[in-house]
Structure 1
Amino acid sequence: MAEPSTDQRRIALVTGASRGIGRAAALALARAGCHVVALARTVGGLEELDDAIKRDGGSATLVPADLTDFAALDRLGAAIAKRWGRLDIFIGNAGLLGPITPLGHVEPAAWDRVMAVNVTANWRLLRAVDTSLRASPNGRVVLVSSGAATACRAYWGPYSVSKAALEA
C-alpha cells in the first residue's frame, strides 16, 4: 500500500528539532505517519534528523531558523498555511537555559534572550499558526515546560520565570 501524500498526512511543527526532546518528538511523529516541519538553528542537526526520518520512511520539511527572528516565524506561519492549509500539531520545545547566576547578576541582554526564545517565540509561532491550527479538525499544541517552573533551583531565575510563563 502506498504511503499517504503529505496532503493526507498530519502536519506537525516541532521547534528545537535537531536534538534532545525535540529530535525524539520529531522522530516519533514521523514514525506515527506525520509530515514533520522541523525547526532548529543547526543545519547539520536538521540534516541528520532528516536522514533518520527518511530511513524510517517518513518525510520532513527542514526550517533552519533562529527563534528570535520573529519575522521569519511569521513567514513560516504563512508558508504552512499556503502549502498545507492546516497544522495538526505544534510542539514548542526549543528552549534556552541562560546564565546560571544570582538574579541580580543577570545582564539585561541575557534575560531578554531567554525570554525571547522560551516565551516570545512560542507566542509568535502560536500567533502565526493559529489559523492553520484552527483549520485542522484536531489541532493540538504542546509547549514544553520544566519542573523549574514550580520547583525553582538556585540561580536559574530567567529560565524558571520563562517556563512559569509558558504554564500561565
Structure 2
Amino acid sequence: MNTRLALIIGATGTLGKAITKKLASQNIQLILASRNIDKLEKLYEQIINISILKPIIITLDLSHGRSIDKLGGKIFEKYKKLDILINCSSFYPKLSPIHHINPKEFSKLININISANWQIIRSFDPLLRLSKYGRAYFFICKRKTYNEPYFGSYVLSSNAIEALIKSWKKEIKKTNIIVSTYDPGPVDGALRNSAFPGENKNNVNTAELSAKHFINLLEKSYTSLT
C-alpha cells in the first residue's frame, strides 16, 4: 500500500498494539488513540523504531462523545482526510447473569461499545469520503460461544455494532468507502483471560497472528484498484 493515514482507536490494547506495529512496518502515517497516555507513550517509542514516520498519539475517552468530535476536527484541520479507520476498542463487564450486571458497568458498555461507535461513524464519515479509498473496520465478537448464558453483554454489543455498520454500508455504497465489521476470533490477552480463566492457549490466536490476518484482509481491499 502507498503511504496512507490511519487512525487506530484502542491502539494500546493487546490486538491494537499488534495491528499498529504491522501498519507501522508498512510506513503508514499512524494516529494512535487510547485512554492511557502512559501506554501510548510506550507504544510511540516502539513504533519510532519500526517506521520512518513518527506516529501521532492522542488520548481519547470513548465515553465522552465530544472528545470523538474534537479528534475528527483535529484530523481534518491537519490532514483534510482519513484513509483508514480501525476501532478495536471495547469494554465488557464480568460474565454474569443479566440481572447481576452492575448498572454503572452496563451504562459504560452502552456508551463505549454502542454510542461511541455511532459517534465515530458520525465524526469520521466525512473524512473517509475525502480519501481516495476510505476504509473502516469495527471489531466485534460473533462466535457461537457468545450466544450462551452469561454472555448477554457480548451479544448485545456485537449485534448493535453489526446493525449500525450494515446500515452505514448500504448508505455509502455509491461512495469510495468500504466499511465492515471484523471478528478476529479468540485472541490471547487480558480481556480473553478475564472471560475464560484457565483456557487452553492452544485454542486461541496470538495477537500477532490475528493482526496478520487482519492486515491481509485490509490489503486485499485495495487489490482491485491496481
Q: TM-score, normalised by structure 2?
A: 0.67
Q: Is the 8 A contact 1:16 1:94 kept in 2?
A: yes
133, 136, 150: which is aligned to 1:155?
Answer: 150
Q: Does 1:17 align with 2:45?
A: no
Q: Is the 8 A contact 1:149 1:163 kept in 2?
A: no
The AA in structure 1 aligned to 2:11 is: A
Residues in 1 aligned to 2:18 and 2:142: alpha-carbon distance in whole angstroms: 19
The percentage of counterpart residues that share the same residue type is 29
Q: Does 1:142 align with 2:137?
A: yes
Cα distance, 1:96 vs structure 2: 0.7
Deviations 1:127-154 (A, max 9, x none): 1111110000110100001135884233
Residues in 2 aligned to 1:139 and 1:94: alpha-carbon distance in whole angstroms: 20
Are the structure 2 counterparts of residues 166 and 114 from structure 1 closer, same or farther at C-alpha, using a change threshold of 3 Å? same
The AA in structure 2 aligned to 1:161 is: L
Cα distance, 1:126 vs structure 2: 1.5
Deviations 1:94-113 (A, max 9, x none): 00121311001223322111
Residues in 2 aligned to 1:34 and 1:116: alpha-carbon distance in whole angstroms: 30
Cα distance, 1:122 vs structure 2: 1.5
Matches within 5 A, 1:4-153: 9-57=3-51, 58-148=53-143, 151-153=146-148
Residues in 1 aligned to 2:109 and 2:149: alpha-carbon distance in whole angstroms: 17
Equivalent residue for 2:197? none
| Runs (5+) with no aligned partner, structure 1 | 1-7
Q: Is the 8 A contact 2:6 2:83 kept in 1?
A: yes
Moved more, 8-17 or 144-153: 144-153
The AA in structure 2 aligned to 1:44 is: D
Q: Is the 8 A contact 2:141 2:154 kept in 1?
A: no
130, 137, 161: which is aligned to 1:166?
Answer: 161
Residues in 2 aligned to 1:74 and 1:118: alpha-carbon distance in whole angstroms: 17
Instruction: Calculate the aligned-residue CA RMSD, in Å.
Output: 1.7
Q: Is the 8 A contact 1:78 1:129 kept in 2?
A: no
Residues in 2 aligned to 1:108 and 1:64: alpha-carbon distance in whole angstroms: 26
Equivalent residue for 1:4? none
Matched residue SS, 1:55: coil
Equivalent residue for 1:3? none
The AA in structure 2 aligned to 1:84 is: Y
Q: TM-score, normalised by structure 1?
A: 0.89
Residues in 2 aligned to 1:114 and 1:141: alpha-carbon distance in whole angstroms: 21
Q: Is the 8 A contact 1:90 1:141 kept in 2?
A: yes
Runs of 4+ in 1 over 6 A off after TM superposition: none
